[in-house]
Amino acid sequence: MIFIIELSGTIAFAISGILEARRQNMDLIGVFTLAFITALGGGTLRDILLNRHPLIWVADPSYALMIFGLSVIGAIIFRGNHFHPAERWIVIPDALGLGLFAATGTAYALNLDISVFVALLLGVITATFGGVLRDLFCAEIPSVFRRTQLYATCAFAASFAYWFIHASGGDHEISTFVSIFVGASLRLLALRFDWRLPI
């Protein structure tokens, strides 16, 4: 179950990179790079900050191969720079991935016995910096810093939920599910009702 969410979350993140690359009229190289960075950039940055090596995609080639396959298909399917229905299909897997990646990042950080606040930050970085790097590579101000519908806030809530359940005695699996539920439902509510931060 967690594996399916991780897979669909990674694919959703990669597709968001592919769509952005197409909007910028990039070729296959740009499509693949943006898909890779969006899907794996957050976890890679977390691992570099925490000095965890080898990086997951260095140790296991299936990530890079899957994203390359998706990029070839995406570069053929998605043409033009108009709004694409794929942007709607990926909303739910993207929200699930947001919660899961926040939980994963928080879990790794808590294992290192670092303080709770920093562990929550690393959860947020894991979930959101793929998208931040995607926007940077498009020479745009990262959308997560603008008044979006609570994207990073949902990652923080998911990280907090993971820590709270874990500290209350929940095991990794149950904490992860609560985290995904909190992050994804808050995100979908924020999108539905256009909630944004007041400050």
Q: Does 152 bind its own copies (CB under 8 A)?
A: yes
Q: Does 33 bind its own copies (CB under 8 A)?
A: yes
Q: Is the dihedral of CA 57, 49, 7, 113 positive or negative?
A: positive
Q: Does 25 bind its own copies (CB under 8 A)?
A: yes
* Three-class secondary structure assignment of 11-73: HHHHHHHHHHHHHCCCCHHHHHHHHHHHHHHHHHHHHHHHCCCCCHHHHCCHHHHHHHHHHHH
Of the candidates 7, 65, 91, 167, which one interacts with its own copies according to CB under 8 A?
65
Q: Does 27 bind its own copies (CB under 8 A)?
A: yes
Is the CB of 5 or the CB of 26 nearer to its own copies?
Answer: 26
- What's the rounded Cα separation, in Å, for the pair 137 and 111? 32
Residues that bind its own copies (CB under 8 A): 21, 24-30, 33-34, 44, 48-51, 53-55, 57-59, 61, 64-65, 68, 72, 75-76, 114-118, 121, 132, 136-142, 144-147, 151-153, 196-197, 199
